[in-house]
């Protein structure tokens, strides 16, 4: 099972609703799909079989979160058919085409390493611990495309606090589910499987960092990282917003500088990002 902790692991421009209904953008852009502790890659050629309208059930009791943007929300169709999720294929349309092969129930999440309370938790029991809220975030991929996504989830920080990290814990490691029978991309050498990503403790504890379980008020589709994925929204440089033709300047820290710039004080970001 995946490890969460390792001490040595160094609406100004809302997309029209007509369009409505990836590999990771971790630190540099926004999101890395994570199945709880299990990180999966989420991320323009839609195939005819791709969903056009939401089919996932609605999530009850979702409340507005403390962070949002008034920029154009990318269409549900684009969010669910333009994905980087190499476990389900390397083409942008592969995840939507292959998503049905991934089984998200039953599902357990393992927490291990430098924590006082290591445990293995059923995904539904885990979700029952936290209230769900909507976070409308800019997502900017390292490939320089971007979206504005209304995620549903909960902050990662309170979960970390429940696990009681020791003083030796410096990083979190997120490891993907390893199941080549369900994830055809894992039968290839596209990446080293299982895929592993990480965050510093202060990044993981930041209020902007969430675990998403849905989007547009509905259960998260498989191709977007179901049943649970990590979302970290900050990034850099230029981008092309999905649904637009021209590139735009990416705001410093993807527009979240006020909240996160202090995490990187003194760092040479030309080298680190």
CATH 3.40.50.2300 assigned to domain 5-260? The reply is: no
Q: Which of 116, 149, 267, 166 is nearest to 217 (CA)?
A: 149
* Residue found under tokens 């979700």: 127
* Residue found under tokens 């675990």: 211
**pTM of full prediction above 0.95:** no
Question: Considering only 97-111, 215-229, 256-270, which range has the smallest mean pLDDT?
Answer: 256-270
Q: What is the residue-averaged pLDDT of the chain?
A: 83
Phi, psi of 51 (to 5 degrees): -65, 140
pLDDT 10s digits, 51-83:
457 899 999 999 999 999 999 899 999 999 999
Given pLDDT bands bounded at 50, 70 and 90, which one contains residue 270? Answer: low
Given pLDDT bands bounded at 50, 70 and 90, which one contains residue 116? Answer: very high
DSSP letters, 146-207, are EEEEEEEEEEHHHHHHHH-B-TT--EEEEE----TTT-GGGGSSSS-SS-EEEEEHHHHHST
């Amino acid at each position: 099972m995946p490890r969460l902790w390792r001490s040595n692991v160094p609406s100004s421009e809302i997309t029209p609703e007509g369009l409505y209904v990836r590999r990771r953008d971790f630190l540099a852009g926004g999101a890395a799909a994570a199945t709880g502790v299990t990180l999966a890659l989420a991320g323009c050629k839609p195939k005819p079989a791709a969903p056009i309208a939401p089919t996932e059930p609605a999530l009850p009791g979702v409340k507005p979160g403390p962070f949002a943007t008034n920029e154009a929300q990318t269409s549900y169709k684009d969010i669910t058919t333009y994905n980087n999720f190499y476990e389900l294929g390397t083409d942008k349309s592969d995840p939507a085409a292959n998503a049905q092969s991934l089984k998200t129930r039953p599902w357990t999440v393992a927490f291990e390493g430098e924590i006082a309370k290591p445990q293995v938790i059923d995904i539904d029991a885990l979700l029952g611990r936290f209230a769900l809220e909507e976070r409308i975030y800019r997502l900017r991929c390292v490939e320089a495309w971007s979206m504005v996504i209304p995620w549903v989830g909960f902050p990662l920080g309170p979960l970390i606090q429940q696990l009681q990290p020791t003083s030796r814990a410096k990083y979190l490691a997120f490891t993907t589910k390893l199941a080549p029978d369900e994830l055809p991309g894992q039968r290839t050498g596209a990446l080293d499987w299982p895929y592993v990503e990480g965050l510093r403790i202060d990044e993981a504890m930041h209020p902007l960092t969430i675990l998403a379980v849905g989007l547009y008020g509905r259960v998260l589709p498989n191709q977007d990282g179901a049943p649970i994925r990590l979302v970290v929204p900050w990034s850099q440089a230029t981008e092309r917003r999905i649904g637009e033709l021209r590139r735009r300047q990416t705001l410093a820290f993807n527009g979240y500088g006020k909240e996160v710039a202090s995490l990187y004080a003194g760092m040479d970001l030309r080298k680190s990002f």
